[in-house]
């Protein structure tokens, strides 16, 4: 009898008897973000101190060796499902299955709905225009809406996400990066407060990796989002409102915009 193939979710469940899975999942995201931000001049992560701080609670536990296996399995599963009709948001699905509590108001839009919304949003947009389009989802969840938009529009455009949940921000930026979206920024903030900023992450091909922004003045997204609250009369802007990926009930008034 053929044995069941081990999955990313199975590896996460390996921690269940010794640890609370939610912080383990969040720690995995932090470790993965550090791991893909390799500094060739040192041979270590750009965020080696953060990596060591995050892995420290597992230092004497053999389960620590599962973290790199989880990253490898995540990449394999996402690659296998890259053209799947259900999308390849393995992280979001894992989050939904394990951490979305009933009546919490937090859930993610199914992939096929994200594809439909991206088709409606794009409409007659000139995807080959000289100036890259800016696409933003102010309550991005795990980034499905942005991934669906990138699949339809192409990878040369710029993708931006905001979410008040830091775990969701980390899921989104890792999803975008592993899907080859290298012109992106995802910010942890309350999208209804123009001056709010906790931290932001940008994806990059050269230099290769995901990089943290801790000073809001250095965040392109923070400046754009704050300015979007001001009334402007310097030209037309195309904007289409869509339901949040986190679903109604999050209270964040999400939109997916082209501007």
- Write down the pLDDT at residue 127: 64
3-class DSSP state of 60:
coil
Q: Would you place residue 228 in the very low, low, confident or very high pLDDT band (cuts 50, 70, 90)?
A: confident
For the stretch 174-193, pLDDT in tens is 999 999 999 999 999 999 99
- Beta strands of 76-157 (E only): which ranges? 134-137
Q: Is the peptide bond before 207 cis (omega within 30 degrees of 0)?
A: yes
Name the β-bridge partners of 159: 135, 184
Sequence-separated (6 or more) residues with CB below 8 Å from residue 228: 194, 259
pLDDT of 18 reads 95
Residues of the chain with CATH 3.40.50: 111-258
Write the pLDDT tens digit of every residue in 132-176. Answer: 889 999 999 999 999 999 998 888 899 999 999 999 999 999 999
Residues 6+ away with beta carbon under 8 Å from 55: 27, 31, 64, 67
Q: Which CATH number fits domain 111-258: 3.40.1350, 1.10.10, 3.40.50, 2.60.40?
A: 3.40.50
Give the predicted TM-score (pTM) of the model: 0.87
Q: What is the CA radius of gyration of the chain?
A: 18
């Amino acid at each position: 009898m053929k044995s069941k193939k081990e999955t990313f979710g199975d590896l996460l469940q390996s921690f269940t008897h010794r640890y609370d899975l939610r912080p383990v999942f969040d720690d995995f995201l932090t470790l993965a973000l550090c791991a893909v931000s390799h500094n060739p001049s040192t041979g270590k992560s750009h965020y080696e101190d953060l990596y060591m701080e995050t892995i420290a609670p597992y230092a004497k536990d053999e389960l620590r060796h599962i973290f790199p296996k989880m990253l490898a399995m995540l990449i394999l599963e996402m690659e296998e499902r890259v053209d799947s009709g259900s999308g390849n948001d393995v992280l979001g699905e894992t989050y939904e299955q394990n951490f979305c509590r009933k009546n919490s108001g937090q859930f993610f839009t199914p992939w096929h709905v994200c594809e439909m919304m991206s088709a409606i949003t794009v409409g007659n947009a000139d995807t080959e225009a000289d100036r890259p389009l800016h696409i933003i989802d102010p309550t991005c969840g795990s980034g499905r809406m942005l991934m669906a938009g990138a699949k339809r529009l192409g990878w040369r455009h710029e993708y931006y996400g905001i979410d008040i949940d830091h775990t969701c921000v980390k899921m989104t930026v890792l999803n975008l990066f592993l899907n080859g979206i290298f012109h992106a920024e995802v910010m942890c903030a309350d999208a209804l407060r123009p001056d709010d900023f906790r931290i932001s992450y940008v994806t990059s091909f050269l230099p290769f990796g995901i990089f943290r922004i801790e000073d809001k003045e250095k965040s392109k997204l923070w400046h754009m989002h704050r300015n979007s609250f001001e009334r402007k009369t310097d030209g037309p802007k195309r904007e289409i409102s869509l339901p949040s990926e986190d679903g109604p009930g999050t209270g964040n008034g999400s939109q997916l915009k082209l501007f």
